[in-house]
Amino acid sequence: AQSVTQLDSQVPVFEEAPVELRCNYSSSVSVYLFWYVQYPNQGLQLLLKYLSGSTLVKGINGFEAEFNKSQTSFHLRKPSVHISDTAEYFCAVSPYTNAGKSTFGDGTTLTVKP
Amino acid sequence: GAGVSQSPRYKVAKRGQDVALRCDPISGHVSLFWYQQALGQGPEFLTYFQNEAQLDKSGLPSDRFFAERPEGSVSTLKIQRTQQEDSAVYLCASSPYRGQGQPQHFGDGTRLSIL
């Protein structure tokens, strides 16, 4: 079984400041890792994914994440946030052996203040 | 449209009624997923189809929940004898291949409220 823990339920930050949203996971098998963003009353949109290879992955809208296998973490970062980045962010894992069954964290609400 | 389409967007039902939620995946996508998202939580896996085959239904919370995808495209999630705890947003997602490492494309969800 897999589990995902997003360590911060809410992250307030000022515009143009850097931000890090933390994600730890637990799994007995190898997993793929994803970050999704959800705007109010909408479905989830993929920000980035880690499948294999380089542990630093770049996504859309200037976001990036680093996979750390020893710490079982996949933290999301952006060097300078915009008001439009205000949204809910979800970390998810999907096991190699059953990639159809994704497990999501409970989300982090990012609020960017002017 | 080019995205995953779900209908209705909002559904209000009385406790005990049956409801049916529809998902139109992206054309040609092989895999289709249903999730339940309670308020303030992340999506919880319900079930997964590859074409018309339901490969995993381990997340369905009770035998009142039933999903089908008879022709390998449109899918319907049916909830019988609804209970208040069924109130949630139901998300559908699709992906183009067998799902291994493929990100899922989500619809905007159906918000179900049981009175």
CA dist B82 and B77 (Å) reads 13
CA dist B92 and B48 (Å) reads 10
Q: How many domains does chain B fold into?
A: 1
CA dist A88 and B14 (Å) reads 30
**CB distance B75 to B69 below 8 Å:** yes
Task: Name the residue range of residue B39's domain.
Answer: 5-114
Q: Chain A: nearest CA to B18, how far in angstroms? A: 24
Evaluate if residue A97 carries a pLDDT over 80. Answer: no
Evaluate if residue A1 carries a pLDDT over 90. Answer: no
Is some CB atom of chain A closer than 8 A to the CB atom of B7?
A: no
Say yes or no for a CB contact (<8 Å) between A96 and B100.
Answer: yes
Which residues in B lie closer than 8 A to residue A104 (C-beta atoms)?
Answer: 35, 42-44
CATH of A2-113, one of 2.60.40.10, 3.40.50.300, 2.40.50.140, 3.30.70.360: 2.60.40.10
Q: Which of A2, A44, A45 is the mutation pick for testing B, counting most B CBs within 10 A?
A: A44
pLDDT of B100 reads 63
pLDDT of A5 reads 97
- Predicted confidence (pLDDT) per residue in B10-39, tens digit: 999 999 999 999 999 999 999 999 999 998
Degrees (nearest 5) of the Cα angle B106, B109, B111? 165
The CATH number that applies at residue B57 is 2.60.40.10
When computed from its CA atoms, the radius of gyration of chain A, rounded to whole angstroms, is 14
- Predicted confidence (pLDDT) per residue in B74-88, tens digit: 999 999 999 999 999
Evaluate if residue A32 carries a pLDDT over 80. Answer: yes
pLDDT of A54 reads 86
Q: Are strands A23-27 and A2-6 parallel, antiparallel or unpaired?
A: antiparallel
